Amino acid sequence: MLDRRRFLAFTAAGATAAVLPRFAFGQEKPFTLPPLGYPYEALEPHIDAQTMNIHHTRHHQAYVNNANAAVERWPELAKMKIEDVLRDLSKAPEAVRTAIRNNVGGHWNHTFFWDLMTPGGAKEPQGDLKAAIDQSFGGLDKMKERMNQAGAGRFGSGWAWLVVGKDGKLDVISTANQDTPLELGVRSTVLGVDVWEHAYYLKYQNRRPDYLSAWWNTVNWDKASANFAKKG
């Protein structure tokens, strides 16, 4: 079973990796792969260990590597907060903008995603988040249905998200590829699920809706509530 102290240490590292100032130590690469807050097998049977391992150590690592390569082409990137870069991609030179959108975006999305999952978490949201979901969607099941539809309906690769929109209300949206909700001007991102085939294909093959149904069992509702509380 998960050692609590190790879990907390990993969680703390994962949660701060995306926002710490980079180049703090001269030789280090500005972007680094955050450790998971749980072992690869922890989300079984909903998400299998092999998928988690490959997704983290190969796919996410590739986004990190490519983001570091983008820094060599645009050093300013290393000095900026990731969220600020992604909120306004027009700041990036055109020659490197697509690389940043895909790879810094991929790094942010995956860091968010790993932190949003946990073994043995609460089955449903509590408090303010629960109240807002009830008010906006008419209940948790209806919100899940909207997310599942957004994820299943995303053609090709992308993400489904629960966000607090510009109007301060909860909304379900979908983005393509590694585009983030940040560039859409959302106030906060509450939930997000990766619907790229690499997130589910080994276990679920073409059955994306089955993966989406199972994924809800992994959600860290405490983290989702913390994300929701950041609004405004």
Sign of CA dihedral 7, 82, 158, 205: negative
- Of 134 and 197, the one with the shorter C-beta distance to Mn ion is 197
Report the nearest approach of Mn ion to the CB of residue 121 (Å). Answer: 20
- Beginning with the edge strand found earlier in the chain, give each strand of the sheet holding 158-164 in spatial order: 170-176, 158-164, 188-194
What is the size of the binding site for Mn ion (CB under 5 A)? 2
- Of 7 and 196, the one with the shorter C-beta distance to Mn ion is 196
Question: Residue 109: CB partners within 8 Å, gap ≥ 6?
Answer: 159, 178, 180, 192, 194
Measured in whole angstroms, the distance separating CA 101 from the mean position of its chain's CA atoms is 14
Q: Does the protein bind Mn ion through residue 112 (CB under 5 A)?
A: no
Q: Does the protein bind Mn ion through residue 115 (CB under 5 A)?
A: no
- Of 43 and 170, the one with the shorter C-beta distance to Mn ion is 43
- Of 102 and 213, the one with the shorter C-beta distance to Mn ion is 102
Which residues in the 150-209 window bind Mn ion by CB under 5 A?
Answer: 194, 196
45 prior amide bond cis, ω within 30: yes
Report the nearest approach of Mn ion to the CB of residue 118 (Å). Answer: 18
- What is the SS3 assignment for 179? coil
Report the nearest approach of Mn ion to the CB of residue 198 (Å). Answer: 5
**Which residues sit at the interface with Mn ion, rule CB under 5 A?**
194, 196
